[in-house]
Amino acid sequence: MNEILITGTGLFTPPESITNTELVSSFNHYVAEFNATHAQAIANNEIEALKESDEEFIFKASGIKNRYVMNKASILDIKIMQPILAKRADSELSLQAEMAVCAAKEALIRANLAANEIDAVIVACSNLQRPYPAIAIEVQKELGISGFAFDMNVACSSATFAIQTAYSTIKSDIAKRVMIVMPEICSAHLNFKDRDSHFIFGDVCTAVIIETGQTCKSSSAYKIIATKTKTEFSNNIRNNFGFLTKTESEVFKQPSNIFNKDYFFMQQGRKVFKEIIPMVAELIANHLAENNIAVKEIKRFWLHQANANINRLVTEKLLGNFSDERLVPSILNDYANTSSPGCIIAFHKYNEDLKIGDIGVLCSFGAGYSIGNIILEKIC
């Protein structure tokens, strides 16, 4: 069987960013105004006073110091506190497609390929700006790719599930080369008025090219040794916004209800910690054992970039205590949680130093629950 490889990756980083200092300042101004406006109701115990946020709390809870966003000013404006993005005409390239094309072009350069050499495009992300036509088909047209394209969503595990899909597509001889792009505008589903989550997400797009060893022209490639995916239903991470939202009676009668917290990202963080960490560690350990690979042979863990503490605890369950931060690189400090692209950003930025024959694990996990694991070996 011909080898199936990752031969190129790309990254689009938005031009604007928000530091913890800026985010906390904005949030605390909002809190002060809210508490002052509702002082009487708070005094009468009708509602609770909001608590301020702080940088130390954010970094300790998540490992995040900064995040990139597609629109900064309106997020920091306490009268708005959400991104405001210009509506584009149907004849214009959509925002997610534009992000995807930028990342895709870098991946093509790294893979030493032209766009017309790609057979299929998959857009894999947590949030799509429209149901149809597919963003992937728009990207396909913009780049001049023949073949087929489609969108898919497995929340934070969209990238690894898409890699498995591309792997199976190539293995079945349906395509020779597949491009995966992950345009995430997570700031649009984040409740910036919620102290527990206002700091979590940023915006970004990554791209990955999967192809056969026969067609590889890249100077740096990783062989996909094996893939493994798992899902288990949980309400602990949830977003209820969708095309039926406007039909719900509460929203129909009072359209402002569309801004209720129920339609933003929600999670029960403590439950997620308790449940997802052992699930991820067990899946990685079992997957390695199924392929006769010892955990201590792994030279790099490119884990989902949701929370620094989760990644530390997952790795400790696998290896015990460790001190080499290069083993589990983090991009949270700069990018925050970007949902599906997180582990791909880590791979994109921290794979060139490995030697031929070194084995790494690319793993994502998130809402669903969904877990995707890819075992990789550097071959050039």
Question: Closest Cα to residue 121, out of 85, 96, 92, 88?
Answer: 96
Q: Is the pLDDT score of 58 beyond 60?
A: yes
In the numeric block, the tokens 């890249």 are attached to: 218
pLDDT digits (tens, 9 = 90+) for 162-173: 999 999 999 999
Residue 2 has what pLDDT?
Answer: 82
* Helical (H) or strand (E) element with 66: strand 66-69
Residue 105 has what pLDDT?
Answer: 98
Residue 326 has what pLDDT?
Answer: 86
pLDDT digits (tens, 9 = 90+) for 185-232: 999 999 999 999 999 999 999 999 999 999 999 999 999 999 999 999
Residue 130 has what pLDDT?
Answer: 95
Residue 260 has what pLDDT?
Answer: 86
- Band the pLDDT of 322: cuts 50, 70, 90: low
Tokens representing 290 are 């199924």
In percent, how much of the chain has pLDDT > 70?
A: 99
Q: Which among 156, 186, 343, 363 is annotated as catalytic?
A: 156
What superfamily would CATH give domain 223-236+264-378? Thiolase/Chalcone synthase (3.40.47.10)
pTM recorded for the entire structure? 0.96
Across the range 13-34, mean pLDDT stands at: 98
Average pLDDT, the chain: 96
* Helical (H) or strand (E) element with 299: strand 298-303
Q: Between these two residues, 259 and 122, which has the higher pLDDT value? A: 122
For this structure, is 156 an active site residue?
yes
Residue 321 has what pLDDT?
Answer: 76
Q: Name which of 18-27, 265-274, 289-298 the model is least confident about.
A: 265-274
Q: Is the pLDDT score of 366 beyond 80?
A: yes
- Band the pLDDT of 335: cuts 50, 70, 90: very high
Q: Taking the CB of residue 366, how many other CB atoms lie within 10 A of it?
A: 24
- Band the pLDDT of 323: cuts 50, 70, 90: low
CB 182 within 8 A of CB 207: yes
Q: How far apart are CA 93 and CA 86, in angstroms?
A: 12
CB 352 within 8 A of CB 337: no
Q: How far apart are CA 188 and CA 201, in angstroms?
A: 9
pLDDT digits (tens, 9 = 90+) for 233-265: 999 999 999 999 999 999 889 988 888 888 999
- Band the pLDDT of 1: cuts 50, 70, 90: very low
CB 124 within 8 A of CB 152: yes
